[in-house]
Amino acid sequence: MLKLKDKIITDRGFYKALMAVAIPIALQNLIGFGVNMMDTIMLGQLGQVQLSASSLANQPFFVFSMFSFGFAAGGSVMISQYWGKGDTDAISKIMAIGLKFVAVLSLVVTALVALFPSQIMGLFTADKQVIAEGVRYLKIIAYSYFFYGVSNCYITSLRGVEQVKISVAIYGTSFFVNVIINYIFIFGKFGAPAMGVAGAAIGTLAARVSELAMSVVYMEFFEKRTGFRFKHLFAPMDKALLGDYVKTSLPVAFNEIAWGFSTSVHAAILGRMGAAVVAANSIVNVVTQLAFVFLFGIANATAVQIGKAVSSKSEHYVRRMAHTMQLTSVGIGILGAAIVLLIKNPVIGLYNIPAATAKMTGQMMSAAAVMVFLISLEVISTMGVLRGGGDTKFVFFIDVFFIWVVATPLGAYFGLVAKVAAPIIYLLLRVDSPIKGIIAFFRIRSGAWMNNVTRDRSEVLEQ
């Protein structure tokens, strides 16, 4: 018993602090799941083509969201460590740097998607009907990227100072905006035109605008912990912190973009296997997103708590935190897999899809249950422990290598050349996760992942 206490955290205060961050993030993720679920259910009533078109047309946004989240999450690693030291001046400067990066990125992506929607859809499918519907969606949704990028970067940065409840209020409100506008414009209610997939894009755009508006109001009038205000965006960037931000955040940003881009490539591989496979995969993704709601809440909370401890606690205590979270990941994985198996049949019944597609979807969900368990073990170790400890370059390396050298080539060959069944391809495209989980296990045991990325106040140049 003494040995167990020496290896894991038994203090209730630790778990209370962890849950105080994890639960609001999980609720935010649950709201995001609700948005995607309502979109797919509404569009699913229109048919397989519309459902497939919206799924594929959202791939550019998915890649963009991963990249923007990477910049924000990388900054959050620094913010959590400075939060452990109580240096709010550095935190405000880091937030300003992150928001500037994401604002520029979002404008570039908006321009590309708005100018080349047909070409982008052609990357994912050769089905002309799906391309035409996807173009209608992209021409509207492209303008939501800026609003999403800036508000999400701000909210993600606040996680570093354990300020997470506001995200629930903001995303909860935008959920209702999205669902109401979707209903009106997808189906043509209350005298509005029935716009199908374009109506879904209008609903999402309206929700993103509301998120940024609420974020700005909170930033200017209510936020207390960081003291960050809109005016900080126009102050010169601190050179020392800018250098640290680039070194810490770029690996996270490229890590997320590599993962996000691989997901789009995986969608393209499945898209070339037919509209039925795309529809099945989009439904499976909705269900796995629900299974991952609490997982990603715990992973992000782990990164915050680990980062805070690295700059303010002993190495022994940080190791105990890491071991505790690895053990916790087993329980989270079992829970996630059980959720997928329990809800797979009721969820499939919600969609207007052919019997053959429904059968394939059920098989892919069974495969997904296995992967949810294995992914849980990996994500809490990599996104939580290693990233929170400042080991962002190592996480970037193993993510990119095993996704692009192992999983993606296997999925592409067996899906497009060998023509293996879709459930097998689903597993092959995610085979990198168990490999990364094993490597992360030994990396954490080594202790080489603990990197304090903060500076003393005297080292930060006053601008």
**Domain extent listing, the chain:** 2-448
**Mean pLDDT across the stretch 356-380?**
91
Place of tokens 């689903």: 426
Assigned token pair, 1: 């018993």
CA trace torsion 239, 241, 243, 249 (10° rounding):
-150
User: What does the mean pLDDT of the chain come to?
Assistant: 87
- pLDDT the model gives residue 1: 45
Query: Crossing angle, helix 12-44 and helix 275-291, to 10 degrees?
Result: 150
**Span 2-36, pLDDT tens digits:** 465 667 787 888 899 899 889 998 888 888 777 77
**Span 75-109, pLDDT tens digits:** 888 999 999 888 888 899 999 999 998 999 999 99
Phi, psi of 409 (to 5 degrees): -60, -40
**Mean pLDDT across the stretch 291-317?**
88
**Span 205-245, pLDDT tens digits:** 999 999 999 999 999 999 988 888 888 888 888 888 988 98
- pLDDT the model gives residue 408: 94
**Span 261-300, pLDDT tens digits:** 787 788 788 878 887 888 888 888 878 887 888 888 899 8
Confidence of residue 460 (pLDDT cuts 50, 70, 90): low
**Mean pLDDT across the stretch 241-250?**
88
Whole-model pTM: value is 0.79
**Mean pLDDT across the stretch 56-63?**
82
Nearest to residue 72, comparing CAs of 102, 109, 32, 49?
Answer: 102
**Span 130-164, pLDDT tens digits:** 889 889 999 999 999 999 999 999 999 998 898 88
Assigned token pair, 339: 């959720």
**Could you tell me if 389 and 307 are in contact, meaning their C-beta atoms sit under 8 angstroms apart?**
yes
Other CB atoms within a 10 A radius of the CB of residue 417 amount to 8
460: left (phi over 0), alpha (psi -120 to 50) or beta: beta
Angle among Cα 443, 445, 446 to the nearest 5 degrees reads 65
**Mean pLDDT across the stretch 362-369?**
91
- Burial of 361-396, coded b for 16+ CB within 10 Å and e otherwise, reads bbbbbebbbbbbbbbbbbbbbbbbbbbbbbbbbbbb
Confidence of residue 458 (pLDDT cuts 50, 70, 90): low
- pLDDT the model gives residue 461: 47
Which tops the pLDDT comparison, 144 or 43? Answer: 144
- pLDDT the model gives residue 44: 73
Nearest to residue 109, comparing CAs of 72, 143, 136?
Answer: 143
**Could you tell me if 27 and 168 are in contact, meaning their C-beta atoms sit under 8 angstroms apart?**
yes
CA gap 174, 213 in Å, rounded: 11
What are the C-alpha distances in Å from 144 to residues 62, 147, 363, 396? 12, 6, 35, 28
CA gap 231, 229 in Å, rounded: 5
